Amino acid sequence: MTPSQIEIVNKTWRQVLALGDEAAKLFYDRLFEIDPAVRPLFTADNMPEQRKKLMLMLGAAVAGLEDLHALVPVLQDLGRRHVGYGVTEDHYDSVGAALLWTLERGLGEAWNEDVSEAWAAVYALVAEVMIDAARDAAA
């Protein structure tokens, strides 16, 4: 990621945070719409907690872009844990699509090609680290 992309992500993340839980609701609604196979991985009664976890993890990833040496072990642990939840590599594509869709909706006029590329780079980094750790855990 470039310094410019990190700056864009940090700036737009503040806008997403202003949406609060609505951003997480948009994300999960979209995820379940585009990939109904992931729905059974979640229970209805834990969704408020799951939405909080999503926003906290995204916030940690954004904050960690300035210090990847600290962020990578957190993502690796997350990737290993997700194996136990039943997450497969294919799910990462759906999650990425739902995340970018959510960000586009949430950011409205602030969404442009640079913002899209910056967030796609963040998600690619996060997904790559998590998938690699999941593969190692499964091996």
Segment 14-55, tens digit of pLDDT? 999 999 899 999 999 999 999 999 999 998 788 999 999 999
CA-closest candidate to residue 8, choices 124, 128, 123, 110: 110
Task: Please state the pTM of the whole predicted model.
Answer: 0.93
CA distances from residue 136 to 17, 25, 80, 82, 83 in whole angstroms, order as listed: 33, 31, 8, 12, 10
CA angle 72, 134, 32 (to 5 degrees): 100
pLDDT given for residue 121 in this prediction: 97
Please report, for the chain, the start and end positions of each structural domain, with discontinuous segments joined by +: 3-138
Q: What is the CATH number of domain 3-138?
A: 1.10.490.10
pLDDT given for residue 45 in this prediction: 83
- What is the Rg, in whole angstroms, of the alpha carbon atoms belonging to the chain? 14
* Residue 130 pLDDT level (bands cut at 50, 70, 90): very high
